[in-house]
């Protein structure tokens, strides 16, 4: 009985392995399909669902080092909000790690900046007022 099952499995695997080869058109059939598709008058256009990305903004140059720089950390939610997630914990840890690695780095804490879900003028003005060399932005808490 066990031997019979083994042969059934082997036979099924062999049949499945041959199926792609059986369904594959010959080179002549493939050429005919291409000709008929070209002569049908239909054109297929494949579009990217993300749309066109317009690249018209120039990014600021990278900092050569963080030593002696001022980094602003902006978080979109306050730590006491239930839906704030782990953003506050992440920013606290990031601040600690940066201060350990760069002794004279200055950090503008997220709690010192307006915390809103939309970077409105108030938020941008507050960040600009601190005159940071870089900004770490945390969206979604």
Please tell me the predicted confidence (pLDDT) of residue 131.
94
Residue 50: count of CB within 10 angstroms of its CB: 6
Q: What is the 3-state secondary structure (H, E, C) of 5-22?
A: HHHHHHHHHHHHHHHHHH
Over residues 41-67, the pLDDT tens digits come to 777 777 777 767 677 778 778 899 999
> Residue 10 above 70 pLDDT?
no
Over residues 84-139, the pLDDT tens digits come to 567 788 888 999 999 999 999 999 998 888 876 665 678 888 889 999 999 988 87
Calpha distance 85→97 (Å, rounded): 20
Nearest to 136, CA basis, from 117, 110, 111:
110
8 backbone φψ class: left, alpha, beta (φ>0; ψ -120 to 50): alpha
Please tell me the predicted confidence (pLDDT) of residue 82.
45
Which range, of 3-7, 12-16, 62-66, 74-78, averages the lowest pLDDT? Answer: 3-7
Residue 89: alpha-carbon gap to chain centroid: 22
> Residue 26 above 70 pLDDT?
no
DSSP summary character for residue 50: T
Q: How much is the pTM?
A: 0.54
pLDDT-derived band at 70, boundaries 50, 70, 90? very high
> Residue 71 above 80 pLDDT?
yes
Locate the domains of the chain by residue range: 70-138
């Amino acid at each position: 009985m066990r031997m019979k099952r083994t042969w059934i499995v082997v036979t099924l695997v062999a049949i499945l392995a041959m199926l792609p080869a059986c369904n594959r058109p010959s080179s002549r059939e493939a050429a005919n399909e291409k000709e008929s598709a070209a002569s049908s008058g239909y054109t297929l256009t494949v579009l990217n669902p993300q749309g066109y990305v317009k690249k018209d903004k120039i990014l600021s140059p990278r900092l050569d080092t963080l030593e002696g720089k001022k980094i602003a950390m902006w978080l979109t939610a306050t730590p006491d909000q239930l839906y704030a997630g782990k953003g506050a914990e992440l920013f606290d840890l990031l601040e600690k790690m940066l201060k350990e690695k760069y002794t004279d780095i200055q950090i503008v804490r997220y709690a010192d900046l307006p915390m809103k879900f939309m970077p409105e003028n108030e938020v941008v003005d507050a960040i600009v007022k601190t005159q940071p060399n870089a900004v770490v932005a945390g969206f979604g808490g």
